[in-house]
Amino acid sequence: MLRRSESSVATAAEVDQRLAALGGQFRDRFSQADSEQELRLARADVLGKKGALTGILKLMGAVPADQRRQLGERVNGIKAEVEAAFNDRLAEIRRAEREADLNAAPFDLTLPGRVPALRGHLHPIRQMRDHILEIFQSLGFEIAWGPEVELEVNNFTKLAFPPDHPATDMQDTFWVKVEGAPSDVRALLRTHTSNVQVREMSTHPPPMAIVSGGAVYRRDDDITHSPMFHQVEGFLVDVGISFAHLKGVLTEFAQRLYGRGSRVRFRPSYFPFVEPGAEMDIGCVFCDGDEARRPSCRVCKGTGWVEVLGCGMVHPLVFAHCGIDAEKYTGFAFGVGVERLAMLRYQVPDIRIFFENDPRFLAQF
């Protein structure tokens, strides 16, 4: 007992001594600090986690109870002094900085600004994608997004692709290895944006009108095909939706994109996830109405028509796979190639130019 009390007394003396020393130290440090950063560092040396005053506070537990109160008051007093000295010095530093600012050489507000030599902008494909999305948004469609690495079930199976469909073949699709997945769970780089249709239909009840856009991937590479390209996909599901709604919406879209006079036509076509399916052509924007130019037109190859999108009524099997009552609801869906529309609109002959990132090309948009 005796020994412990002696050590406590020694500790009380130590606290007292260290407090006395601290009293002068921090004022010197603060007045030497020339910037806010230096001042804050000096403050941390006193009040911070490893600061001098914090160290003293840790000793207080060992001080005898009858002296602890009085010492505690001194500690608190010093703490308040430190804070006050810090705030005073901070105000001084800020005042000095402001003064220096005001006394510095004045800005000449009449000088012309610096214009960057090369100013960036959105990629032409991105501009075209956004433009298409905006048109459908203005028609009441909502925007949704989906992943580019997708499960086979969302990219093919639920869209009623038969297992032996050529698109599901190794030749056409970039398959992705999923470590540790069961052998029947396969993933791939999505081959179309229709995965968004599956995801939205599987998670939301109709009615719905949704449009989505983004990159898709196929093993194609020539002047009109790129292994990575972009699509915009849309679909509308409700009670009583017919092919007439499809034609009305897509005709309005084509006219907003290419002008009020644009003609469209629908040709029967096959896609596994629609029935009936169609392709929409627009009157060739380069030779339409010009009988003399048409025969030599390279864009439409003399037909006067250019294919721009695939569409159709959503197949009842797709509804069934996504948990939607096909007896009650009908809907239409469409997919459009963004590069295709951009190539037509800007008369770009080779799709690969879009992805070569040559500033001489990109600066034209």
284 binds Zn ion (CB under 5 A): yes
Q: Minimum CB separation from Zn ion for residue 294, in Å? A: 6
Ramachandran quadrant class, 160 (left: phi over 0; alpha: psi -120 to 50; beta: rest): left
- Under the criterion CB under 5 A, does residue 285 sit at the interface with Zn ion? no
- Identify which range of 37-45, 72-80, 161-169, 292-300 contacts Zn ion by CB under 5 A: 292-300
Binding test (CB under 5 A) with Zn ion, winner from 47, 60, 299, 353: 299
Please give the residues from 116 up to 145 whose contact with Zn ion meets the rule CB under 5 A. Answer: none
Round to whole Å and give the CA distance between 253 and 240: 21
DSSP 8-class letter at 222:
B
| Full DSSP string of 296-340 | G-TTTTTSSEEEEEEEEEEPHHHHHHTT--TTT-EEEEEEEEHHH
Piece of the chain touching Zn ion by CB under 5 A; list 126-134, 267-275, 290-298, 340-348: 290-298
**297 near Zn ion, judged by CB under 5 A:** yes
Per this entry, what is the length of the chain? 365
Q: Smallest distance from the beta carbon of 293 to Zn ion, in angstroms?
A: 7
**What is the 8-class DSSP label of residue 357?**
-
**Residue 286 within binding range of Zn ion, rule CB under 5 A:** yes
| Nearer residue to Zn ion within complex by CB, 257 or 300 | 300
Cβ(198)–Cβ(159) below 8 Å: yes
Choice from 287, 309, 341, 344 touching Zn ion (CB under 5 A):
287
Determine the size of the site formed for Zn ion (CB under 5 A). 6
Q: Does 167 bind Zn ion (CB under 5 A)?
A: no
Contact call for residues 275 and 313 (beta carbons, < 8 A) = yes
The total of other beta-carbon atoms located within 10 Å of residue 257's CB is: 19
Residue 348 sits in the site that holds Zn ion (CB under 5 A): no
Give the residues lining the site for Zn ion (CB under 5 A): 284, 286-287, 297, 299-300
